[in-house]
């Protein structure tokens, strides 16, 4: 088969099968998911699991097997993490298939749609405006094909593609249509080589993840010196190597906030599953956190505030004697890949009177030009596009278009020029263009848009409407939806680089915004310190979606927009966004609570270890004591709190807020417990078993008080959670078998009462300190100096 024949008929089924067998297919790793092996490895092979595993082995060799209970808890946590991530993976992969752009290829002489992964080398790929290029290869046919390669090269201007020119994966079609041969597929394609590693599933940098990593780094630095100090002190105080090992393990295990990373992963994974039930595809997990932090939401009008389709309301002739109806039908017929506007016109006009004219030169619509046109030889050249672009300034026709547009309708101008006028317009020269008619289209508002916009206004999120349509028409649509400032729409063509930030701060609704301006507006808002989300569905939104802190695409949008967005609303429901916000707030607020729990434990364990090392006494706990306390005041509550509803607004300053609570809480727990233990150990009537029980009582009471502080504001289930943890501890004390298992012997009521009194006093002092500003000022000063 010659190349010309292949260009006409594409590959045969047999040729496709040969290439599949040879592995010449377009398989690349999914952006939204990692493999099962990677999930297992990420949850099992961690530094903390290695440390906990080594400590578990030491306890099994030198101590009582019951003191190795913490090893089983770590195993259970790891398994839970794997299961939750696998659930999230299945959800992501299933939704990714639904949201993925299908690729049109020619096989056995017929155009068919296949999945991106089913494209093989030498396939003939057909493309049109809005399509994302998924493989590399030379152009075979070009019908005014223009491609935006700015995401790859940084060049802003669209590139005209002619037969023989190379198409690069990662670019997208902005105008025209055509076909090309798949020359490089899979990992050999240009975009795949550029972004394979960067686009793999990962928890991208975020304030939450950065803060947690900072905590883990500090804890890791402290583990070794404190562990060495504790081991030496335990050997000197007990003169028993076995007891020294068990005591040191008890102190070191408690320092490790092993569940913090796990809870973060689980919270994100559960968020993915919950949003998946609403047909919301989260292509990068931190997007859940991102929307919770957004304070500016930029919206494209068409397809976001309005439904994708529109209806032709009327055609208003502006000059008698011109065959406007036939010209419109001919323009529609000449367009190889009609957009929604052309489809709405075609659906309303029908077949009409007389055949359509044979087309000559065709100029496809693009967001930069804002018009399309076709030359029809002796019938002249006809254009369809924005009235303020095609019509003379100050003309009666333009004023009529503005008057109709002020009612919220979309108005297009039909213009006529003598033969050759189209070429003059494309070349940038003047042309004798005359107004022929105004096409009036009714845009259907999304029924959920008004309520969703009201939600964001109530939550303090500023809304900016960025549209390529006429500013007056955009303002009318925005006003109907209750957008503040809709009565003052701004023409983006007047914006300069010098005043763009100021204009964005003082205006809400913008019309005639070019794709490059949308991107510039997003960057200007970010330069002002805003966290920006951008929603859109068209190819003109791609650049802004890519640069926004969070890009949200509609499921019915172009393949290019879905590819670059971090969140895709597969059912096109704008009302899903508040649920994404709620999920983000749940993750941020709950992980902050969980971090308070785990880091309080880390602080008091470090303090206890240091005090034990300095004073030279035996460590006050066996590992099983701390396992019991951790399970009831941290482990079980953390699971509940991490997955519970939480509508608190996201605030910056994750690290200072956590330190503000965890440091004084940990110091109070550690100091009060140690004081009670030292006083008890000075009593000659008691031994270590009774003294450690006294310390366990004191630490549990303080830890339960910390849990009660973190659980605020109280609801019935939070009160029940705290009460049930206290009741569970009482059950352990009351049941002989459990009491023996956890080595609890409360022989001295006097010592217990003293330790509990110290614990209660410390709890009251902690509550008092957290209510005063002096501590905040001191901590902030220390953090700034650091």
**Catalytic residue positions, numbered:** 300
Closest CA to 44 of 66, 91, 67, 76: 76
Provide CB contacts within 8 A for 85, sequence distance 6+.
39, 42, 43, 265, 269
Closest CA to 539 of 565, 511, 520, 504: 565
Contact 305, 299 (CB under 8 A): yes
List, in sequence order, the alpha helices (H) in 256-395: 258-277, 286-293, 324-334, 340-349, 387-390
Q: Considering all CA atoms of the chain, what is the largest pairwise distance in Å, rounded to the nearest integer?
A: 115
Distance CA 461, CA 508 (A): 12
What element of type H or E holds 725? helix 716-734
Q: In angstroms, what is the C-alpha Rg of the chain?
A: 33
Residue 241's SS3 state is helix
Closest CA to 327 of 216, 319, 237: 319
Distance CA 564, CA 254 (A): 43
Q: Which two tokens stand for residue 574?
A: 């704008």
β pairing state of 166-167 and 296-299: unpaired
CA dist list (Å): 317 to 323, 333, 407, 470, 523: 10, 21, 19, 20, 42
* N-term to C-term CA, the chain: 71
Angle at 613 between CA 611 and CA 618, to 5 degrees: 95
DSSP 623-649: HHHHHHHHIIIIIHHHHHHHHS---PP
Distance CA 378, CA 353 (A): 19
Q: What count of other Cβ atoms lies within 10 Å of the Cβ of residue 488?
A: 12
Distance CA 271, CA 288 (A): 7
C-alpha torsion 667→721→654→278, nearest 10: 170
Give the residues across from 297 on adjacent strands.
Answer: 463, 533
Closest CA to 79 of 118, 40, 28: 40
Contact 493, 512 (CB under 8 A): yes
Which strands make up the sheet holding 410-417, listed edge to edge?
Answer: 306-317, 434-445, 410-417, 381-385, 371-375, 362-363
User: Which class for 655: exposed (0-12), middle (13-18), buried (19 or more C-beta within 10 A)?
Assistant: middle
Query: Given phi > 0 = left and psi -120 to 50 = alpha, else beta, which region is 400?
Result: alpha
DSSP 517-544: HHHHHHHHHHHTT--EEEEE-SGGGHHH
Query: Given phi > 0 = left and psi -120 to 50 = alpha, else beta, which region is 390?
Result: alpha
CA dist list (Å): 260 to 48, 266, 623, 686, 721: 11, 10, 20, 37, 19
Q: Which two tokens stand for residue 460?
A: 């303090």
Contact 622, 692 (CB under 8 A): yes
């Amino acid at each position: 088969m010659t190349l010309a024949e292949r260009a006409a008929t594409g590959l045969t089924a047999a040729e496709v099968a040969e290439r599949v067998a040879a592995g010449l297919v377009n398989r690349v790793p999914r952006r939204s998911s990692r493999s099962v092996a990677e999930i297992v490895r990420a949850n099992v092979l961690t530094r903390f699991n290695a440390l906990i595993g080594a400590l578990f082995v030491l306890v099994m060799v030198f101590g009582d097997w019951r003191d190795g209970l913490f090893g089983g808890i770590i195993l259970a946590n790891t398994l839970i993490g794997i299961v939750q991530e696998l659930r999230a993976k299945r959800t992501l992969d299933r939704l990714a298939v639904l949201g993925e752009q299908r690729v049109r290829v020619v096989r056995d002489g017929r155009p068919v749609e296949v999945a991106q992964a089913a494209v093989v080398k030498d396939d003939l790929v057909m493309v049109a405006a809005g399509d994302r290029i998924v493989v590399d290869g030379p152009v075979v046919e070009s019908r005014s094909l223009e491609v935006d390669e700015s995401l790859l090269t940084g060049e802003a201007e669209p590139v005209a593609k002619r037969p023989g020119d190379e198409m690069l994966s990662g670019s997208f079609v902005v105008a025209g249509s055509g076909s090309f041969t798949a020359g490089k597929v899979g990992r050999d394609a240009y975009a795949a080589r550029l972004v394979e590693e960067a686009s793999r599933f990962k928890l991208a940098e975020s304030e939450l993840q950065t803060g947690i990593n900072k905590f883990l780094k500090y804890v890791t630095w402290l583990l070794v010196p404190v562990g060495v100090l504790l081991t030496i002190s335990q050997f000197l105080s007990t003169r028993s190597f076995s007891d020294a090992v068990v005591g040191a393990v008890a102190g070191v295990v408690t320092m490790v906030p092993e569940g913090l990373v796990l809870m973060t992963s689980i919270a994100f994974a559960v968020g993915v599953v919950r949003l998946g039930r609403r047909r919301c595809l989260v292509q990068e997990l931190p997007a859940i956190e991102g929307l919770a932090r957004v304070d500016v939401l930029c919206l494209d009008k068409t397809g976001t505030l309005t439904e994708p389709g529109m209806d032709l309301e009327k055609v208003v002739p502006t000059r008698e004697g011109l065959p406007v109806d036939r010209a419109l039908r001919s323009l529609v017929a000449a367009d190889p890949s009609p957009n929604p506007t052309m489809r709405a016109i075609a659906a309303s006009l029908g077949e009409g009177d007389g055949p359509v004219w044979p087309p000559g030169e065709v100029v496809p619509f693009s967001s930069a030009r804002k018009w399309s046109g076709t030359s029809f030889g002796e019938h002249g050249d006809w254009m369809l596009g924005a009235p303020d672009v095609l019509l003379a300034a100050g003309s009666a026709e333009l004023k009529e278009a503005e008057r109709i547009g002020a009612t919220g309708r979309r108005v297009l101008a039909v213009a006529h020029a003598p033969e050759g006028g189209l070429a003059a317009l494309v070349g940038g020269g003047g042309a004798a263009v005359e107004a022929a008619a105004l096409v009036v289209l009714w845009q259907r508002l999304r029924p959920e848009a008004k309520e969703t916009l009201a939600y964001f206004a109530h939550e303090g999120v500023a809304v900016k409407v960025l549209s390529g349509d006429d500013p007056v028409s955009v303002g009318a649509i925005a006003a109907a939806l209750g957008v503040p400032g809709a009565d003052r729409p701004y023409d983006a063509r007047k914006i300069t680089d010098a005043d763009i930030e100021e204009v964005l701060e003082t205006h809400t609704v913008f019309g005639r915004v070019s794709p490059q301006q949308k991107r510039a507006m997003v960057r200007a808002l970010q330069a002002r310190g805003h966290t920006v989300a951008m929603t859109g569905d068209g190819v003109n939104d791609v650049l802004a979606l890519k640069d926004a802190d969070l890009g949200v695409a509609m499921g019915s949008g172009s393949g290019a927009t879905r590819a670059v967005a971090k969140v895709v609303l597969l059912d096109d429901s704008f009302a899903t966004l508040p649920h994404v916000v709620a999920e983000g707030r749940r993750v941020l607020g709950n992980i902050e609570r969980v971090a308070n729990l785990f880091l309080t434990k880390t602080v008091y364990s470090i303090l206890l270890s240091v005090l034990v090392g300095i004073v030279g006494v035996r460590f006050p706990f066996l590992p099983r004591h701390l396992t019991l306390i951790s399970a009831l005041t941290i482990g079980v509550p953390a699971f509940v709190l991490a997955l519970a509803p939480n509508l608190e607004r996201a605030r910056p300053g994750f690290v200072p807020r956590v330190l503000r609570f965890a440091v004084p809480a940990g110091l109070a727990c550690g100091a009060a417990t140690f004081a009670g233990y030292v006083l008890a150990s000075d009593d000659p009537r008691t031994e270590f078993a009774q003294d450690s029980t006294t310390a366990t009582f004191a630490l549990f009471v303080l830890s339960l008080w910390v849990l009660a502080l973190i659980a605020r504001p109280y609801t019935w289930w939070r009160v029940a959670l705290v009460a049930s943890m206290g009741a569970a501890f009482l059950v352990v004390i009351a049941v002989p078998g459990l009491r023996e298992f956890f080595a609890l012997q409360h022989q001295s009521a006097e010592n217990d009462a003293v330790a509990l009194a110290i614990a209660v006093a410390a709890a009251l002092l902690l509550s008092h300190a957290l209510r005063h500003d002096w501590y905040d000022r001191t901590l902030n000063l220390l953090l700034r100096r650091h």
